[in-house]
A and B are shown apart, each in its own frame.
Chain A
Amino acid sequence: MRHLLGVDGMKRSDIERILERAESFAEVGRRDIKKVPTLRGRTVVSLFYEASTRTSSSFELAAKRLSADVVSVKSVGSSVDKGESLKDTIATLSAYGPEAIIIRSPHAGAANLVTRWTEASVINAGDGKHEHPSQALLDVFTLRRRVGELDGKRIWIVGDVLHSRVARSCALAFTAMGARVTLAGPPTLIPRGITEGIECEVAHDLDDLGEADVVYALRMQHERMRGSFVPSLREYAARYQIDSRRLGSRQLLMHPGPVNRGVELSSEVIDGPSSLITEQVESGLVVRMAILYELLTSGERPRGRRAAAGEPDSSELIAPTPIGEPA
């Protein structure tokens, strides 16, 4: 793969290859020295047009663990904030010769657009309400570690699907891995026509939630009342909150974070034994290392520029041997 723009279009084998690589990085992560030299001397740019804690920090740490030089640009206080266009910003950052640009944008398709203006591999770290592929990959990774293959597993994604890029990417990734997905939420928050666009079922109540092997709750934002999407958070919570009454003991619980305690999830299930929420965060690092590895060391990259600069060919750098350990 050259870019990671979305789960849409990824084959199961692509996902499996990245997840297997993530497993090997997880093994590295248990050693004393967690850094590998794979991307030494290469530059990774992280460009975030939206506030983000876990995604930006986990991508940055992932790049550093691979020994890349990382340039982080946040929209606040930068030239982006001063009205510079995305195209001009990419042209500026491309002057550093980055091998990868990680971009988060409030607008769908921003990452796709960036591929037109740079030779770098582009990683979509969330584009509007469209996709958030690294989140979906880390969720599949987390789930597979707990339950094995997802074939035939039933996964309910519950909540504000309409405004959720996580819901879209996860639904695509889970179905690609053989799971059966149900999108559940109030009719106003389930996008019209979604079952024609993504292979899934839709439910407007949680009466059949018991069939789910996994319940994936989405973040419910407070401003949704204003658009008449739901009458009140109270009514929403009464009907869609995942609590110990609704969540069976054999069912697993996931959430992309950050959680609104007492809205989409009750406190007792967040911290309960069924919750995979902490493991999701932990998986983020190794899965993002695997994504960078996949894009920056695969054969699909143009090599002329680096070779001309006298740098070693990427194929010589593939072994993720920790620094300080014998190869």
Chain B
Amino acid sequence: MRPISDLDWRGRAEPRPDLVISRAAVLDPRAGIDDVLDVVVRGGEVAELAPPGTGEAEGAEVIDAEGKHVFPAFFDPHVHLRTPGGEDAEDVETGSRAAAAGGYCGILAMANTIPPVDTAADISALRERAAAEASVPVGFLATLTRGMAGEELTEMADLSDAGAVGFSDDGLPVRDANVLRRALSYQRLAGLQIALHEEDPDLSGKGVMHEGPVSAVLGLEGIPAVSESTMIARDAALAAYEGARIHVQHLSARESVDVVAAAKAAGVAISCEATPHHLTLTDEEVRTLDARFKMNPPLRAEADRQALVEGLRAGTVDCIATDHAPHPPQRKEVPFEEAAMGVTGLETAFAVIHTDLVLPGVLDLGLVVERMSAGATAFGFAPPTLAPGSAANLVLFDPEPEWEAGADGWESRSANSCFDGRRLRGRVLMTVAAGGVAYRQRSFALGVAT
């Protein structure tokens, strides 16, 4: 597995200050660490986990973290940075800053830009942008098919050599089963994960929300749960046949969790993700007819939400991904049916899960922390860890403060969060990505130097 620091970000050239994060509740389930400790960061690495009050590093900034948590930083395998073509909504600089503010030490950007990222030259250009502008390491996927047209494969091997981190036509399903079959076969040459937006376009039709009692009352065309689950079943069968591996993006339906569980039990190399909004909200939100709650796949019923939570707990759902999808106001301040699909999510992801699932006791904190960075594994990156000797990828999180999402504005260029205005509990204070300080929360006083 590759280190996250293989990805491009501007911090590579910047100094890596030494830090002592003192008396923190350090939690890294992957490394079996759960204790109050001093985290000593030296030379960009976790140099030492010392008994509380004993950590030292010459010239280091000392941060009093009593009552606060240190976790391995998060990794998001599914964001939209809208570069090129959608810079009015987001770009590499603003999107990666939003990621840093959410506690992420690495993100992977989707290729459904305008035009789509489908050539080695596109990948090289984006990597240069990231090296110049990105607050945290950013990887770029290429499309699976040229122009996302679903017809011809991209030059997958060349794209791989150019530094693409995976392939996906995210935003659209691969409608033609034979095209996907060829891509899965070609994966033996090109390597890299193939990430799939699973949806049967015929079943989805012009649907704009989950098909169920709420869509029935609102008179909005529904997207049935089987639109997603039948495509996952098809593609899991294709992956098994070709001996390929696939990553299923943004699971939303109970039926889909069942299909993935069955595929895993049958030995298919399949991983999948769920978003914070699908884990915490349902289609009841759409009763407001507020386009902030419009995304694809749509918010579904309570039984679906619970199945996702259970799937996350059981490991059927491997990781939490945001599907951070920024849009400018004019694409959201329109009637629901006309509005763009997608919501932002990087800046609220962990606080939302912490507020709605951890604090009420639904999910264990350690499990959530693990799932927040497990997306790295699915794409062949070593997940962040706090084990001494590892690259410093960590997040300092205060579980106490209550804050209103969006009240202080957003780091993202866009504000289309479905949690805007929500009271959330717990806040990211600082993010260290690949050894560099990528983010400090404004209200968080700079560490008290001793």
Interface residues of A (CB under 8 A from B): 8, 85-87, 105, 107-110, 112-113, 127-131, 164-165, 168, 191-194, 196-198
- Chain A residues contacting B215 (CB-CB under 8 Å) are 191, 193
A-B contact pairs, 25 of them (CB 8 A): A85-B333, A85-B334, A86-B334, A87-B330, A87-B334, A107-B338, A108-B220, A109-B218, A109-B289, A109-B335, A128-B219, A128-B335, A128-B337, A129-B219, A164-B219, A165-B219, A191-B222, A193-B212, A193-B214, A193-B215, A194-B217, A196-B213, A197-B214, A198-B216, A198-B217
Interface residues of B (CB under 8 A from A): 211-220, 222, 224, 288-289, 330, 333-338
Contact A109 B336 (CB under 8 A): yes
- Chain B residues contacting A85 (CB-CB under 8 Å) are 330, 333-334
- Chain A residues contacting B222 (CB-CB under 8 Å) are 191-192
Contact B336 A107 (CB under 8 A): yes
- Chain B residues contacting A128 (CB-CB under 8 Å) are 219-220, 335, 337
Contact B217 A168 (CB under 8 A): yes
A192 to B337, CA, bound (A): 19
A112 to B289, CA, bound (A): 8
- Chain B residues contacting A191 (CB-CB under 8 Å) are 215-216, 219, 222
Please tell me which one of the listed residues A105, A168, A197 contacts residue B335 in the complex, with CB atoms under 8 A apart: A105
A226 to B337, CA, bound (A): 21
- Nearest first, the 8 A-B pairs at minimum CB distance are A109-B289, A129-B219, A107-B335, A191-B216, A193-B213, A197-B217, A196-B213, A197-B213
Contact B219 A130 (CB under 8 A): yes
A131 to B218, CA, bound (A): 8
- Chain B residues contacting A107 (CB-CB under 8 Å) are 335-338
Known: A109-B337, A193-B215. 8 other contacts (CB 8 A): A108-B219, A108-B289, A128-B337, A129-B220, A164-B219, A196-B212, A196-B216, A197-B213
Please tell me which one of the listed residues A87, A108, A127, A192 contacts residue B333 in the complex, with CB atoms under 8 A apart: A87
Shortest Cβ distance from B289 into A: residue: A109
Please tell me which one of the listed residues A112, A131, A193, A196 contacts residue B219 in the complex, with CB atoms under 8 A apart: A131
- Chain B residues contacting A127 (CB-CB under 8 Å) are 335
- Chain A residues contacting B220 (CB-CB under 8 Å) are 108, 128-130
- Chain A residues contacting B217 (CB-CB under 8 Å) are 8, 168, 194, 197-198
- Chain B residues contacting A164 (CB-CB under 8 Å) are 219
Contact B335 A110 (CB under 8 A): yes
- Chain A residues contacting B213 (CB-CB under 8 Å) are 193-194, 196-197
Q: Name the residue in B289, B333, B335, B337 with the highest tally of chain A Cβ atoms < 10 Å from its Cβ.
A: B335
A194 to B211, CA, bound (A): 10
- Chain B residues contacting A113 (CB-CB under 8 Å) are 289, 333-335
Shortest Cβ distance from B336 into A: residue: A109
Contact B211 A86 (CB under 8 A): no
- Chain A residues contacting B335 (CB-CB under 8 Å) are 86, 105, 107-110, 113, 127-128
- Chain B residues contacting A8 (CB-CB under 8 Å) are 217
Q: A108-B289, A109-B289 are in contact. Are A192 and B336 (CB under 8 A)?
A: no
- Chain A residues contacting B219 (CB-CB under 8 Å) are 108, 128-131, 164-165, 168, 191
A108 to B215, CA, bound (A): 11
A8 to B289, CA, bound (A): 13
Shortest Cβ distance from A168 into B: residue: B219
- Chain B residues contacting A112 (CB-CB under 8 Å) are 288-289
- Chain A residues contacting B337 (CB-CB under 8 Å) are 107-109, 128
Shortest Cβ distance from A5 into B: residue: B289
Contact A194 B216 (CB under 8 A): yes
- Chain B residues contacting A130 (CB-CB under 8 Å) are 218-220, 289
**How many Å from the CB of A23 to the closest CB on chain B?**
30
Q: Name the residue in A107, A109, A193, A197 with the highest tally of chain B Cβ atoms < 10 Å from its Cβ.
A: A109
Q: Name the residue in B213, B219, B289, B336 with the highest tally of chain A Cβ atoms < 10 Å from its Cβ.
A: B219
Please tell me which one of the listed residues B211, B216, B224, B336 contacts residue A108 in the complex, with CB atoms under 8 A apart: B336
- Chain B residues contacting A168 (CB-CB under 8 Å) are 217, 219
- Chain A residues contacting B216 (CB-CB under 8 Å) are 191-194, 196-198
Shortest Cβ distance from B220 into A: residue: A108
Shortest Cβ distance from B301 into A: residue: A193
**How many Å from the CB of A132 to the closest CB on chain B?**
10
**How many Å from the CB of A262 to the closest CB on chain B?**
27
Contact B330 A193 (CB under 8 A): no
A196 to B334, CA, bound (A): 28
- Chain A residues contacting B214 (CB-CB under 8 Å) are 193, 197
Shortest Cβ distance from B205 into A: residue: A227
- Chain B residues contacting A87 (CB-CB under 8 Å) are 330, 333-334
A165 to B215, CA, bound (A): 12
**How many Å from the CB of B159 to the closest CB on chain A?**
38
A109 to B337, CA, bound (A): 9
A127 to B215, CA, bound (A): 14
**How many Å from the CB of A81 to the closest CB on chain B?**
16
A156 to B446, CA, bound (A): 69
A134 to B65, CA, bound (A): 61
**How many Å from the CB of A300 to the closest CB on chain B?**
20
**How many Å from the CB of A197 to the closest CB on chain B?**
4
A60 to B218, CA, bound (A): 27
A257 to B154, CA, bound (A): 54
- Chain B residues contacting A193 (CB-CB under 8 Å) are 211-216
- Chain B residues contacting A86 (CB-CB under 8 Å) are 334-335
A198 to B214, CA, bound (A): 10
Shortest Cβ distance from B212 into A: residue: A193
- Chain A residues contacting B333 (CB-CB under 8 Å) are 85, 87, 113
Shortest Cβ distance from B333 into A: residue: A87
A192 to B214, CA, bound (A): 10
A198 to B213, CA, bound (A): 8
- Chain B residues contacting A194 (CB-CB under 8 Å) are 213, 216-217
A292 to B60, CA, bound (A): 71
A165 to B218, CA, bound (A): 9
**How many Å from the CB of A20 to the closest CB on chain B?**
28
Q: A129-B219, A130-B219, A198-B217 are in contact. Are A192 and B211 (CB under 8 A)?
A: yes
A77 to B335, CA, bound (A): 21
A197 to B288, CA, bound (A): 15
